[in-house]
Amino acid sequence: MNANKLLQLVVILFFTMNTNAQELKKSFSTNPFFNSYNTPYDLPPFDLIKNEHYKPAFLEGIKASEIEINVIASDKTKPTFKNTILALENSGELLSKVSRVFHNLNSANTNDEIQKIAKEIAPTTSAHNDNINLNEKLFARVKSVWDNQKTLKLNQEDSKLLEKTYKRFVRSGANLNKTEKEKLREINSELSSLTLKFGQNLLAETNSYELVLSDKSDLKGLPSEIIEQAASTAKSKNKEGKWIFTLSNSSVMPFLQYNDNRALREEIWRAYTSRCSNKNEFDNNEIAIKIANLRMSKAQLLGYKSHAEYVLEESMAKTPGKVIDFLNRLWIPALEKAKEEEAEIKKIMVAEGIANDVRPSDWRYYSEKIKKAKFDLDEQELKPYFSLDNVTQGVFMVCDKLYGLQFKKLGNVPVYHQDVTAWQVLEKDGTFLGIIYMDFHPRASKRGGAWMTSYKSQETVNEKRISPIVSITCNFSKPTATAPALFTFDEVQTYFHEFGHALHGLLSNVTYKSLSGTSVPRDFVELPSQVMENWAADSEVLKMYAKHYVTGEPIPDALIAKLEKAGTFGQGFETVEYLSSSLLDMEYHNATTAHSGLAEEFEKQVMQKIGMPNSIVARHKSNYFSHVFSGGYSAGYYSYIWSGVLDTDAFDQFKKTSLFNSEKSNSFRKNVLEKGGTEDPMELYKRFRGSEPSIEPLLKKRGLDKKS
């Protein structure tokens, strides 16, 4: 019996037990989540899904899951891998089905009603998860299989799924006593609501600010396409004849980089960095502290000293001490380089008659001037070569040369917003691999940042590979009335980065969905994404895809040379900005006693402790640090630079041979991209590399080695 038939039988069984059976049967026939999608490639029927469908599907999904869990837990036969571990792996299909669509859209295309449903459903789903993880009869069966694994003749993936399942129960409180379990339930419920509230506050606060300019002289220094975008934004808000700048990165960052008006730069910078700390209904000061304290309480309830110790147990780093030592090893040379960069900025400011200290709102503006003077490189020179279409073709070309992948744009398939495109992904021989959605531009209904996610994970059923459906969501520069979307080089690298995550999901070739694709430790998941950035910046590759959007001419060698010479420029600032957030994350989550006061006060103490320059602020200040307070990176923000060691070391292996060395690309695909979480990540890396990675390529890339 296939999964959809089984799902329908379970739901119908519930309907027959319900006093409102007729009403529910009607809902079953009209709610897309209760039936097979009947769409190409089993894509979600976004055109049919309405807000009113979510809550009934969540509730019925939970009830269907409860029936399945009860069947597994009450089984009178001896616990086996098949009737317990595999049965658990295959349970909860309806709940997973609605959850993936709902939570993805809550991030990428939300509205007031979706946010209301999210608040209502969060405690219910949290309680349901606890009901599974704290089910004593169920855990007894899982533990029995775990204790007898040596007699079961399991293969590598079976063993990993058993290990992951058993540890999930233990790390979720299965060994706690009754009183402790009730306390854990309370903590989990509160955390689910607070993390959701943190993210919703940030979206609301980001959308609430507009810098409206009426005087053209206030636009001095800004590139024409940035001005045009601001005019287009104003027009869309019925303020034609004005210019509006927002706190979306594609708006605020160019403003800080180019606008000659220091007072206006300071104004928008303060708005950007004071988000959710304005003592209003969207203030996250107390929420961040509560989240950190609840996480600590949960970790200690489970037998760990801190939340960081709890999280890192399942990472490559293993311990907080190892992470902090690693970050400090980078912090010292990064701080030295940043101070050198600050001295250069001060020199220019003094020459301009601005003798006071460098403000954070000054840094990007004067760095751009210095880069122009030192390397004759202006970001605006690059942008015409990085149109959305050309960069997309560049990404596809790299994927073809490395892995033989082909991409075919799909028409007439449902998408959740008009900006979204869907693509079929094929092997060179035409074998179907999966589907990728791509969603590039900012809007009020989308949270900030860039991320990859999935609507369906890859798995193998009855020896047949079930293809994944993945998505990348970004907030890149929009097209204007006179030009296509033209990317900054940072946006180009972000595109390649997120596509690397997508490849991790698309090329997965494992048996169990719980182990597929990006289901790996946080400090390993950034390897596939960050290694792709290296191809984006390589001169050989740039010549292949960076072509002027008007003339079609490839990017000139002279411009590539300027880009390469400026390669380590500003890395002191960027690394300090990033590392300070990583250290802040660890300070919050490695605590063994509760934090008091407000988040902004705690952050100030941490910045003083690490010696943060007054001219730089952490990349993510506490009150809008969504990565750790609503995005799953708590005690894990360090993972980007940890994976940076891996990705620079990995790319170094290609550079020593050739950029598209087939032996190395095949090895990376087979040992990293296809394996998901089926084995220890360092073992997978060493199988590709032949040894553990070296930190030297990372230091060199960032200009932090002694030679730089």
CA–CA gap between residue 226 and residue 211 (Å, rounded): 14
Q: Which two tokens stand for residue 197?
A: 């509230």
CA–CA gap between residue 174 and residue 178 (Å, rounded): 10
Chain centroid to CA 478: 21
CA–CA gap between residue 168 and residue 134 (Å, rounded): 11
Asked whether the CA dihedral 267, 272, 278, 282 is positive or negative, the reply is positive
Report yes or no: 287 and 629 within 8 Å, Cβ to Cβ: yes
Report yes or no: 311 and 636 within 8 Å, Cβ to Cβ: yes
Report yes or no: 167 and 314 within 8 Å, Cβ to Cβ: yes
- The CA-to-CA distance between both ends of the chain, in Å, stands at 63
> What are the beta bridge partners of residue 244?
212
In DSSP notation, 417-449 reads STT-EEEEEE-TT--EEEEEEEE-S--TTS-SS
Closest by CA position to 157, among listed 79, 235, 86, 251: 86
455 three-class SS: strand
* 483: amino acid identity, one letter: A
> What are the beta bridge partners of residue 432?
426
Strand pairing report for 469-473 and 432-439: parallel
Closest by CA position to 256, among listed 278, 239, 236, 271: 271
* 340: amino acid identity, one letter: E
Closest by CA position to 28, among listed 42, 7, 45: 7
Closest by CA position to 641, among listed 570, 705, 701, 557: 701
User: Which residue out of 210, 225, 459, 498 is catalytically annotated?
Assistant: 498
Write out the H or E segment, with its range, that includes residue 377.
none
| Residue labelled with tokens 């160019």 | 254
Chain centroid to CA 123: 23
Report yes or no: 504 and 518 within 8 Å, Cβ to Cβ: yes
CA–CA gap between residue 19 and residue 15 (Å, rounded): 8
Is 313 tagged catalytic?
no
DSSP secondary structure code for residue 81 in this structure: I
Residues catalogued as catalytic? 498
